[in-house]
Amino acid sequence: MDLNLAGIRLDVTEDGYLSDLSQWNKEIAIELAKKEGIELTDKHWEVIDYIQEKYKNDEALSIRGIKKSGVINIKEFYDLFPGGPLKISTLIAGIPKPKSCI
Amino acid sequence: MKDLLILGAGTAGTMMANHLISKLPKNEWQISIVDQYKTHYYQPGFLFLPFDTYTEDQVKKEGKKFIPKGVKYIQKKINKILAEDNKVELEDETLNYDILIIATGSKIAPDETEGLLGPLWKKDIFDFYTFEGALALRNKLREWEGGKLVIHLTEMPIKCPVAPLEFAFLADSYFRKKGMRDKVEITYVTPLSGAFTKPTSTKTLNYLLEDKEIKIETDFAIMQVNNDTKEIIDYAEKAIPFDLLVTVPTNMGDEVIERSGLGDDLNFVPTQKHTLQSKEHDNIFVIGDATDLPASKAGSVAHFQGETLTDNIVLYTKGNKLKEEFDGHANCFIETGNNKALLIDFNYDQEPVHGTFPFAKIGPLKLLKESIFNHWGKLAFRWIYWNMLLKGIAIPFISRNMSYKGKLIDVKNEK
């Protein structure tokens, strides 16, 4: 599927996640966040950096990981990305949401 | 003589002993395998124990039977791996190795969740990832009169990621057969965004939840179990009440990995995803549930890894370059209840899709589609496990790398 955002045509999955992290940039993140009703602050950017780094190293993302990240505590994580913080933060960071095998 | 040491005589370790005994010259290599436990469990059978489909005897055998002649079987506790010195410290002796294979698996860690091991543990709260847990749950289900059944998984990664969902489907069938389905409310609780998280599976399989009247709660990251109010509570302070909680606690690698300083924060060992060599030490290899790989923790994965790892160990002993071969291949039957099952075949890059297996257009097994034949396949698999898989005998027509033939590849994975 295609999505036009910040003047760029993006390749996205059916549930709206970027298919290719190399298409991601900060303007796109801001637009994706807007669609979720979130205005990105410095703290959001820190979290985005952290989860992108985890993804690039093939490390699993979990609430436990967030707890031990030193970047943010779980309550703040929920406050920054209300609803489903892992699901929403990964969407904005341009990486796949945590998945199972089916 | 050089020493090749395998830690853990579970599915992966036992298979490696059987593979390597015929591949490494006996006058050059002594193979030893260490495991403190005497019993080898057929872990996929734990799913069927609670519903009285399998008996205790069908899921356990003496481990010794599966260790080939010529391999030294050491039944002792492992204290520590001293990777810098190429030694492993056991309870009362220290072994040297030239090559180490870590196959220490993963297990549940219920103490990671506050309140899980409270007064209701094994009374109204059960796991089915241990033999004892599955058996205790069977006894509970035999006499349970109904109420709110909550099936819950704590966090990923877990061994056999579809098992909790299969449990929900089988529970539906079980209570229908007992004529008490109207007395049981089944809720499936997951930290993920849905029971199914991949596009093709979501589209084709969501009907299962509706048909079976299974309620779903998503994005639930558990914070604690309240034993007084009988609720599980998440970080967003959402509370889900239960009468009977069947949970898959956090899964972690063995404590020996932590004691040895070789793991990540879940005690899984950082591993090269295509060669199965440890990221830290050239002469250490890792297989099965013990790795940190983004593949499923499942017996079929260990089986496919075993074939690649055997070749790589032989290459390593000759000083040759390792094969970058393992592709994350998994092949799993998924019970859907009413004597039906699905079959899925996937790897690191490709999500489960439709098609036939193992032969293009012929099958006889159908991928991602419920059938009675697939259910027979799952039941037959117990025989294959004990008689072929553990002994390292190749399963005909099923290759270590995923085949794209006969599959309807419509959606590419994100990565």
The residue extents of the domains of chain A are 2-93
- Out of A83, A87, A102, whose CB is closest to B352? A102
Comparing C-alpha atoms, which of B338, B377, B383 is closest to residue B170?
A: B338
Average pLDDT, chain B: 95
CA B278 to CA B99: how far, in whole Å? Answer: 11
Residue B415 banded pLDDT, cuts 50, 70, 90? very low
* Helix, strand, coil fractions of chain B, as percent rounded to 5: 30, 30, 40
A 6-35 near B (Cβ less than 8 A): 13-15, 17-19
- Tell me which chain B residues have a C-beta less than 8 angstroms from the C-beta of A97: 192-193, 197
The predicted model scores a pTM of 0.94
The percentage of chain B sitting over the pLDDT mark of 90, rounded to a whole number, equals: 88
- List the single residue in B with minimal CA-CA distance to A99: B197
Beta bridge partners of B340: B337
Q: Pick from B362, B358, B368: which is nearest to B334 by CA? A: B368
Rounded-to-integer distance, Cα B181 and Cα B202, Å: 25
Nearest to B279 by CA among A56, A67, A57: A57
Average pLDDT over residues A16-40: 93
Distance from B392 to chain A by nearest Cα, in Å?
25
Taking residues B165-189, report their average pLDDT: 98
Q: Which residue of A has its CA nearest to B238?
A: A83
**Single-letter code of the amino acid located at B20:** L
Name every chain A residue with its beta carbon within 8 A of the beta carbon of B205: 102
CB nearest A63 (choices: B155, B292, B414): B155
CB spacing of A102 vs B162 below 8 angstroms: yes
Q: Give yes or no for a contact between B326 and B276, defined as CB atoms under 8 angstroms apart.
A: yes
Q: How far is CA A86 from CA A63, A74, B138, B250, in A?
A: 8, 11, 35, 17
Give the total residue count for chain A.
Answer: 102
Contact B156 A13 (CB under 8 A): no
Q: Which chain A residues touch B250 with a CB distance below 8 Å?
A: 64
More reliable by pLDDT, B135 or A73: B135
Q: How far apart are CA B249 and CA B240, in angstroms?
A: 16
Inter-chain contact A102–B219, Cβ cutoff 8 Å? Answer: no
A102·B197 Cβ contact <8 A: yes
Q: Is the ipTM of this complex over 0.90?
A: no
> What pLDDT score was predicted for residue B408?
83
B357 and B363 Cβ atoms separated by less than 8 Å: yes
Nearest to B199 among A13, A83, A87 (CB): A13
Residue-wise pLDDT for B224-237, tens only, equals 999 999 999 999 89
Domains of chain B, CATH where assigned: 2-105+254-317 (3.50.50.60), 108-251 (3.50.50.60), 330-408 (no CATH)
Q: How many CB pairs under 8 A join A and B?
A: 88
- On whether any CB of chain B is under 8 Å from the CB of A59, the answer is yes
Mean pLDDT computed over B120-126: 98
* Chain B CB contacts of A11 below 8 Å: none
Mean pLDDT of B283-288: 98
How many other C-beta atoms lie within 10 A of the C-beta of residue A65? 18
B101 pLDDT exceeds 60? yes
**Which chain B residues have any C-beta within 8 angstroms of a chain A C-beta?**
112, 155-157, 161-162, 165, 191-193, 196-199, 201, 205, 218-219, 221, 223, 235-236, 250, 264-266, 273, 292-294, 296, 330, 332, 334, 344, 346, 352, 411-412, 414-415
Please name the residue that has the structure tokens 């390593």: B316
C-alpha span between B268 and A62 (Å, rounded): 14
**Percent of chain B residues past pLDDT 70, beyond the cut:** 99
Nearest-angstrom CA–CA distance, B19 and B35: 18
Cα separation, B15 vs B382, in Å, equals 15
The Cα–Cα gap between B226 and B241 comes to: 9
The predicted model gives A78-101 an average pLDDT of 92
Whether A73 contacts chain B with CB within 8 A: no
A57 touches B at CB < 8 Å: no
- DSSP E strands in B249-317: the ranges are 251-253, 284-286
CA distances from B218 to A94, B190, B240, B415 (A): 21, 5, 12, 23
Q: Indicate whether B238 pLDDT > 50.
A: yes
CB contact under 8 A, B192 and A100: yes
Please give the Cα distance from B161 to B300 (Å, whole number): 13
CA distance to partner chain A, nearest, from residue B146 (Å): 29
What does the pLDDT read at residue B12? Answer: 98
Give the pLDDT confidence score for residue A62 in this predicted structure. Answer: 85
pLDDT tens, B370-394? 999 999 999 999 999 999 999 988 8
| Contact check, Cβ <8 Å, B161/A101 | yes
Burial B94-123 (b: 16+ CB within 10 A, else e): ebebebbbbbbbbbbbbebbebbbeebbee
Instruction: Round the CA-based radius of gyration of chain A to a whole number and report it.
Output: 13
Contact B315, B332 (CB under 8 A): no
Asked whether A101 and B161 are in contact (CB, 8 A), the reply is yes
Across the strands, what pairs with B331? Answer: B345
Q: Is the CB of B192 less than 8 angstroms away from the CB of A101?
A: no
The torsion angles phi and psi of B285, rounded to 5 degrees, stand at -120, 155
Catalytic residues of A: 101
Token code pair at residue A100 = 């199972």
Stated length of chain B = 415
Task: Provide the pLDDT for residue B351.
Answer: 87
Among partner residues B201, B236, B414, which is closest to A96 by beta-carbon distance?
Answer: B414
Q: How far apart are CA B134 and CA B236, in angstroms?
A: 30
Collect all residues of chain A within an 8 Å Cβ-Cβ radius of residue B221: 63, 74, 86
Give the whole-angstrom CA distance, residue A58 versus residue B103. 21
**Radius of gyration for the alpha carbons in chain B, expressed in angstroms and rounded:** 21
Instruction: Indicate the range of B97-111, B115-129, B163-177, B190-204 predicted with least confidence.
Output: B190-204
Residue A81 DSSP label: S
With an 8 Å Cβ cutoff, are B193 and A87 in contact? Answer: yes
